[in-house]
């Protein structure tokens, strides 16, 4: 079993990794928004069902990223609680 300092260091390393993941999720969301805007602009006035389907799939992917960001943010709060109690 690690001593308190080793445990705290491990928790802080995990916290840093989770923060980095959260930033990367935000970047992915932004990239998908850009893709969706480009698709919307490029298919404006089109009746292609594929364009509507692609738009819906991008929206679903962004929703899932939002859910993942919420989960990671909750985990980060838990990390802080654990580190405080050491």
- Please state the domain extents for the chain: 4-85
Q: Check pLDDT > 80 for residue 61.
A: yes
- What is the 8-class DSSP label of residue 1? -
Residue 3 confidence (pLDDT): 86
CB-based contact 22:69 (threshold 8 Å): yes
In order, the DSSP letters of 29-85 are: HHHHHHHHHHHHHHTTT---HHHHHHHHHHHHHHHHHHHHHHHHHHHHHHHHHHHHH
Structure pTM? 0.84
The residues, ordered by sequence, that sit 6+ positions from 12 with a Cβ below 8 Å of its Cβ are 83
**How far apart (Å, rounded) are the C-alpha atoms in residues 74 and 55?**
29
Binned at pLDDT 50, 70 and 90, residue 9 comes out as confident
| Lowest-confidence segment of 28-32, 73-77, 82-86 by average pLDDT | 82-86
């Amino acid at each position: 079993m690690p001593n308190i300092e080793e445990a705290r260091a491990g928790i802080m390393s995990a916290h840093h990794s989770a923060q980095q993941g959260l930033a990367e999720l935000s970047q992915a969301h932004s990239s998908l928004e850009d893709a969706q805007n480009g698709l919307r602009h490029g298919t404006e006035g089109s009746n292609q069902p594929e364009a509507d389907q692609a738009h819906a799939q991008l929206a679903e992917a962004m929703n899932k990223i939002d859910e993942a960001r919420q989960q990671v943010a909750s985990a980060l709060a838990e990390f802080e609680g654990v580190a405080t109690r050491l």
